[in-house]
Structure 1
Amino acid sequence: MTTTTPAESASADDLACAPFFLRGDLEEGAEITHHSRDLGVAFTTPRIALNRAVHPRTEVPPLLDVPVAEIIDFLVETGRRLRDPANPFLAQCLDRMSATHVLPRAVLEAQVRGAADYLDERLLWTVVEQNFPEPRALDEWIPKRDFTGRKSFVRAFAPRLIHVLPGNSPGVAVKSIAQGALVKAVNLFKMPSSDPFTTVAMLRTMADIDPCHAIVRSMSALYWRGGDETVERALYRPQYFDKIVAWGGGEAIDNVTRYLGPGLQLVSFDPKTSISLVGREAFTSDDTLDLAAELAASDVMVLNQEACVASRFIFLEAAAPEADRFCERLHARIVAKAAASGDARPLDGDLREQIDTLMLLGEDYRVWGKTDGAGLVIRSDEPVDFHPINKTANVVRVNSLDDAVGYVTVATQTVGCYPFDRMADYRDRLASGGAQRIVRLGEAGPSTIGNPHDAMYPLHRFVHWMAHEDGATENP
């Protein structure tokens, strides 16, 4: 990813413009030209006014005294407007994002419109109640008394957050804005180069409802190149922010950690790999084999395998001939799902080269499909030593699913399991290995509302827990 001035690139009039949003105000301009990470497509932004991106600590956060119930009402109305086909901000966002993002427009539109479903009243209340045993702590100081009689008050105080958003899923922007509002935070969103549009489109939708609302005044969204020290050394400071909420790949997380220290913490959604466990029961009949292959393909193809929950490795309890029967069916279903999505991206050069090498290694590896982006399955007795992506699944043959547990690490997020009645047999061992979630095969995408994410309750970690002890003691 590079940054140039417009004079060094195409005319700014020919490029997609990515405006900023600063504490309620839209800022447009084309002073700086950037390039998206995956496609290298140029887009322009204004220059960053760093002084406008920071909310002074001498001022309490705008949302502090706004009841959670009112915040949820505003988010619900925002969701209604995001689902409106006539929303001009979202239409413009999708037009521009289609040029910078690797996923087809239809997939992106489904992601953004679907993410608006997060802005549901029952869902948002469930998230709050699951994250906070005492949700009133978001609205007021909660009185406490310990067994010695000492009195105190505790509050989940509004934090100051920088959100480093991921480039693979535009829906995360919608969820992050909602979560930032629920904890009444002052929020600065660093947008990704593949999607420097969705966050501002949602914030503009909010401003269209009420430009003076405290939620709107609590939100800012900017783009800068990750690692740009002129910006990050100025902003990533404890005098301005409490925590950095970082999504993304290893390089993005490593970059953020350089700035951590006393007073500035990291809440990290690290890069994760998800897997599947398929037991020998899949071979009971042709129908069960077809079912297992369909469910596995659904997990592989979550967001066309761009999502962390998408399965990369399928550990299959089978002999080689049986494994090949499964792979054939799996490949056919991945190809069908890829074609239906309209995503025909070929694999990148390094991945193609590694797979072409595997094809020369005889019976230790077998490959179904080509490296043309239409869908590919690799069968092996050990996991491949590269990261399967772009509709590429590695089926690893094992004699027992017990053997698969040894491959689970702290980077393993979701584990899809078939048959379903074997899940309870493995959940403790999977958790011990570092996995964070076990689901029925085929259900990697949907999740139970309010459950932990990446082994934590995120909103509980976002807030600044403040204690007021009045020093008085009484007999208990």
Structure 2
Amino acid sequence: MTLAAPPATTHRALHYWQGEFIDDTEATARLADLPALVEQALAEPLPTETVLNACDTLSAALRDPASAVRERLHPQLADATGDTTEVGETLTELAAALARPALERKLRRELGGTGPERLTRPDARETVFEAWAPAGLLVHIAPGNAAAVAPLSVVEGLLTGNVNVLKTSSGDTLLAQHLLAELAAADPTGALARRVVALRFPSGRREWLRLMCAPADVIAVWGGEDAVAGAAELAPAGCRLVEWGHKISFAYLTRVAWQDPATLEALAADVCRLDQQACSSPQVVYLDTEDSEEVFAFAESFAPVLAKATAAVLDTAAASPSTGAAAAPQSLDAAVPPPVDAAVPLVVGAAIPPSLDAAEQAEITTTELLARLEQHLGLTKVIAADDGTWRVLADTRPALTASPLHRSIWVKPLPARDITATLRPMRRYLQTAAVGGSRADIARLSRTLLTAGVLRVTPVGGMLDSYDGEPHDGVYALQRYSRRVSVQTDDTFQATACLDDLVAATPTPAPPTGDLLDKAGVQAQLATLAPEHAHLHFRSGGTTGTPALSVFTNHDYDTQMRAAAHGLLAAGFDPARDRAANLFYCGGMYGGFISFFSILERLNATQIPLAAGTDHAAVAEALITHHADTILGMPSYLWQLFNSQAEKLRAYGGIRKVFYGGEHFTAEQRRTLNDTFGVEVIRSASYGSTDLGPLGYQCTHAHGAVHHVLTELHTLEILDPQEDRPVRAGEAGRLVFTSRTRSGQRLERYQIGDLGRVVEGICPCGSHAPRIELLGRHGDVLRIGTYFYNYRRFVETAQEQLGYRGELQLVLSTETTGEHLTVRLEGEYATDPQRARTAFLTAIPELGTAVTEEKLLTCTVEVVDGTALERTAGSGKLRTVVDLRTASA
């Protein structure tokens, strides 16, 4: 996708305001109207998918070295660093942070799913709906030393549906403003732009700060105690203050670990990464000892390791000169360095690298000078590079001490028994602890350190590493930016899975415009599917040919099963009262039984997982013994079960609901189940395919083959049966789905072989989810003797002309005299094949003409036992059309 360029800016337009760049004068005027802006923007819901789509589009552009987006953003980073390599790395890391898989994982971890704004039932047994709602106006006061933090913080605000006002430092570049402008340009709906304001001004401009904060519902402030205190003064009553303050991190080594050369190399790498500019960088190394001599000895052994690591870093930097800006953090946690106290520079023995500013030089000089003075008291030992590029400061006192950074590390003793007493008083400042030791040591020390106040425990060498969805400083940011809201309802909402569906249809993006995808194309994709996207392997039932493989990630599968569970609720399944027997087929990698086991599990339902079995008597006995009142399965199998065990099941009379999948019951079969067995509800359990998963569901007002579309998962097109163009309103066509929730396979414009049409209007159930009427499969239309015939016409004729209630199968073959059509009927419901043949030839004129007048084919009716009808091995579905012509040719 080619992104449109965001609005242009001038040297005076330093602020991005809802889609345009403005100057100070305009910003002042608009800030006065900020409360009205917030109310207007919040009135328009922001679907999480809109944010995910825009972020993923921008991420793709940032990953492309030749993209215009990278070209436009490059100057904003180049203003801060002359290192071209570093600029590229920063943009690449931003691309990774904005990628859809990373954000989806974050949403799942922090808010429980990828659609947290939807009012759904956390416990399907209760008609209570909960959702995560935006806090309202979220003000971000960003740090002045980590440019990537500001836009990523706003992205978190957008994921939670908030209106976002960002303040960046006057010393920052306009990276945040321009990156957010690119993000807004990636959203064709304009919804993101209406929720973003990004201002660049000094903290001394108190009136702007006051106008920003006065209507705020949440203020997220990045910085030290002064910054937090300043924000607290401006926060209105009831405003939530989220502090992302300065933190201190350290390493803790047992004796075995500090004697291990590999551990020392990993520790040195942590010290050198980003020059200790991240909160998760180590400032202290604690040794599990109280022996001062061991502390000094460790300092001596670690110094050459640190020297080697420093030289490697400086050699790399020399090959690509930089003015010293830090790369983008891998997570927001690793973004803000601890404060550096300004002081008058002092000169001691070691030189200070000229790239440091005066305050940094002063801090390093002062710390080193005091440590050297205390050497005379036997309290410390200083080992430093002659050129001032690194230093190890050994100290016999265990108290936590901040490092002056820039490859400066304290080494201190701290016996494990004293960890809590020593560190807990500093708990508000603690962040990461890297633990080196045995597996047992790591388990034991992790618990102790967490008790003392540490928020993260990592391996040595991995302190600055992070993972998607990792908490910020001990909390989930998305939860801090949201409100958990609930709606309690009565039993009239029993069949409602999501309250939002009663208000408006779920917004869906426009379908892609590429080539259509068929089953062969899906199978070809599997050859290139990465292992991390191939957790679950299912095979289709093989109804339309050779069983095909489908592969899902566990998260994709979970998302789909939850959506299908909502559909089963809408169909009238009651998890609080129904006792469900799962009678779908299982085995051979077929997913029917497994999927409905998962669906019922997510509904917290009572289920009896029997699976379809050939011993119908045993199945019926189990249904009666376990008081099942609801059964789920394939119509073919359920019809066999009811007929073979008719006496038992009529006497039991306890089956009230039947939910089916894969096929349809005929009208006569439904009438028999209602009148003979007392079944009250017969509905589709789900409409779906093995490749795509659930596609639709029936509600309590659905009739026949009408289904609501699961638009939370898929985008649907209906194309002309013969041409690749949309059908006109009300016309039937090919159903083409694009799945929006698949991590690995890109199932775009996938024609699944079904025919259908849109049902206009809002459903009587109140849901705005679109509806379609399924009109059979392409394979239901067969050509024989130059004419086309629809399988459904044979079924309708049998019902209407013969009162037939059984299953019907068409067999196409070739004989010496030409093509032959055999109609197979169950002997239990049809005893006169000649009468049946006459009915078909009369009710289907083109068949009668082809057989009796044109002699293009011959036709017979066979009356067979129901067990003789051919079925697929995997799913047990009836093969409606068996074409033997190719096999006999």
Q: TM-score, normalised by structure 1?
A: 0.81
Matching residue within 348, 355, 372 for 2:368: 355
Tell me the residue number matched to 1:11: none
Tell me the residue number matched to 2:405: 390
| Native 8 Å contact 1:331 1:368 kept in 2 | no
| Native 8 Å contact 1:313 1:383 kept in 2 | no
State how far apart, in whole Å, the 2-side matches of 1:386 and 1:141 are: 48
Identity %: 21
Matching residue within 407, 410, 435 for 1:417: 435
| Native 8 Å contact 2:38 2:137 kept in 1 | no
Gaps of 5+ in 2: 1-9, 325-352, 495-575, 577-889
Shift of 1:270: 1.8
State how far apart, in whole Å, the 2-side matches of 1:63 and 1:281 are: 59
Deviations 1:166-212 (A, max 9, x none): 22322323421321221121111111344242211212222443575
**CA 1:308–1:349: 2 relative to 1, 3 Å:** same
Shift of 1:414: 0.6
Tell me the residue number matched to 1:293: 264
Shift of 1:336: 3.2
Query: Which letter does structure 1 place at the counterpart of 2:54?
Result: F
Gaps of 5+ in 1: 1-14, 32-44
Tell me the residue number matched to 1:5: none
**CA 1:52–1:223: 2 relative to 1, 3 Å:** farther
| Native 8 Å contact 1:160 1:242 kept in 2 | yes
| Native 8 Å contact 1:427 1:438 kept in 2 | yes
Q: Does residue 210 of structure 2 align to residue 233 of structure 1?
A: yes
Deviations 1:201-234 (A, max 9, x none): 2122224435752112211100222253211222
Query: Which letter does structure 2 place at the counterpart of 1:280?
Result: R
Matching residue within 143, 154, 157 for 2:133: 157
SS of residue paired to 2:285: strand
State how far apart, in whole Å, the 1-side matches of 2:162 and 2:207 are: 25
Tell me the residue number matched to 1:96: 79
SS of residue paired to 2:411: strand
SS of residue paired to 2:16: strand
Q: Does residue 74 of structure 2 align to residue 74 of structure 1?
A: no
Deviations 1:435-473 (A, max 9, x none): 101000111111132132211111012113333345889
Tell me the residue number matched to 2:615: none
Q: Does residue 149 of structure 2 align to residue 172 of structure 1?
A: yes
Query: Which letter does structure 1 place at the counterpart of 2:190?
Result: H
RMSD: 3.3
State how far apart, in whole Å, the 2-side matches of 1:474 and 1:69 are: 26
Shift of 1:420: 5.6
**CA 1:28–1:375: 2 relative to 1, 3 Å:** farther
**CA 1:340–1:251: 2 relative to 1, 3 Å:** farther
SS of residue paired to 2:234: coil
**CA 1:336–1:420: 2 relative to 1, 3 Å:** farther
Shift of 1:311: 0.9
Q: Does residue 136 of structure 2 align to residue 117 of structure 1?
A: no
SS of residue paired to 1:407: helix
State how far apart, in whole Å, the 1-side matches of 2:139 and 2:174 are: 17
| Native 8 Å contact 1:250 1:270 kept in 2 | yes
Tell me the residue number matched to 2:448: 429
Matching residue within 364, 370, 379 for 2:379: 364
Query: Which letter does structure 2 place at the counterpart of 1:127?
Result: K
| Native 8 Å contact 1:162 1:241 kept in 2 | yes
Indicate the larger mover: 358-367 or 69-78.
358-367
**1:447-458 → structure 2 map (5 Å cutoff):** 447-458=466-477
**1:117-266 → structure 2 map (5 Å cutoff):** 117-133=96-112, 135-138=114-117, 140-143=118-121, 151-158=127-134, 159-210=136-187, 213-226=190-203, 228-237=205-214, 240-266=215-241
State how far apart, in whole Å, the 1-side matches of 2:224 and 2:88 are: 23
**CA 1:351–1:328: 2 relative to 1, 3 Å:** same
Indicate the larger mover: 51-60 or 387-396.
51-60
Tell me the residue number matched to 1:19: 14
Matching residue within 83, 88, 95 for 2:63: 83
Shift of 1:82: 2.5
Query: Which letter does structure 1 place at the counterpart of 2:368?
Result: I
Shift of 1:310: 0.9
**CA 1:336–1:474: 2 relative to 1, 3 Å:** closer
SS of residue paired to 1:396: strand
| Native 8 Å contact 1:413 1:435 kept in 2 | yes
State how far apart, in whole Å, the 1-side matches of 2:180 and 2:16 are: 7
SS of residue paired to 1:448: coil
State how far apart, in whole Å, the 1-side matches of 2:313 and 2:173 are: 28
Q: Does residue 459 of structure 2 align to residue 440 of structure 1?
A: yes
| Native 8 Å contact 1:331 1:377 kept in 2 | no
**CA 1:376–1:395: 2 relative to 1, 3 Å:** same
Query: Which letter does structure 1 place at the counterpart of 2:248?
Result: T
Tell me the residue number matched to 1:58: 39
SS of residue paired to 2:96: helix
SS of residue paired to 1:465: strand
Deviations 1:319-350 (A, max 9, x none): 13243212332243234324534555334224
Shift of 1:383: 5.5
Tell me the residue number matched to 2:305: 329
Tell me the residue number matched to 1:40: none
Tell me the residue number matched to 2:390: 375
| Native 8 Å contact 2:455 2:473 kept in 1 | yes
**CA 1:340–1:423: 2 relative to 1, 3 Å:** same
Greater RCO, 1 or 2 (C-alpha within 8 Å, sep 6+): 1
Deviations 1:236-292 (A, max 9, x none): 12xx321011111221111111123433111111211111112211354xxx22x22
Aligned positions, number: 434
**CA 1:349–1:81: 2 relative to 1, 3 Å:** same
Tell me the residue number matched to 2:255: 280
Tell me the residue number matched to 2:600: none
State how far apart, in whole Å, the 2-side matches of 1:348 and 1:252 are: 23
State how far apart, in whole Å, the 1-side matches of 2:183 and 2:220 are: 22
Shift of 1:21: 0.4
**CA 1:366–1:96: 2 relative to 1, 3 Å:** same
| Native 8 Å contact 2:165 2:212 kept in 1 | no
Query: Which letter does structure 1 place at the counterpart of 2:97?
Result: Y
